[in-house]
Chain A
């Protein structure tokens, strides 16, 4: 069974631009969560989608948004990029949800650099 895939793997953007990251969960998984990881802050939860609905949201500004499609694939969008948005963005999928099913499988991440 294929794992979680994220595209692109690396991205360089300029301040003020917007970016869209994509995540394809493991086949059959309905929950997709997004995380931001930086050396200073560690892993931080962005949001979780389940059956096309946002179920949980972390403490990030409205510039960070996401959506989930009927095939469970998910996209994350960041508008008006700031230098501080440079990070590794990780996507994780699970069968039903972060707490209920316990097991989350992470993708390799998208390394975003904002210049």
Chain B
């Protein structure tokens, strides 16, 4: 069973609307959680990185939250733009350097 589960698998939103992506994990002992954005045909780009003590971190219109007690994270996209259409991948790092990857959420923003 994958140690990082992302939901939904895909979603379609209208330009200007907000959306929230979910990431639940079972990785332990936890080191940090990262959200990446991957445009089609390109490598992933880091959006946020959070450690155990961080609850919220923002990067422009992207805001990530982390609840280390429930092992849940979310990525909120505010006022979506067409350029936000991409795959968003949640990656959890354990303290022994092992990385666990979610399958990703594909976001499509329509005009």
Contact = CB atoms under 8 A, between A and B. Distances in A.
B34 A102 contact: yes
How many chain B residues sit at the interface, stated as a range, is: 20 to 34
Nearest to A33: B99
B46 A98 contact: no
Given A43-B89, A107-B43, A108-B42, A102 B99 contact: no
Contacts, number: 54
A109 B103 CA distance: 18
How many chain A residues sit at the interface, stated as a range, is: 20 to 34
21 contacts: A4-B43, A42-B101, A42-B104, A43-B101, A43-B104, A48-B97, A55-B97, A56-B97, A90-B44, A92-B43, A98-B99, A99-B31, A99-B32, A99-B95, A99-B97, A99-B99, A102-B32, A103-B46, A106-B43, A106-B45, A109-B43
List of 4 A-B pairs having minimum Cβ-Cβ separation, nearest first: A106-B43, A43-B101, A99-B97, A42-B103
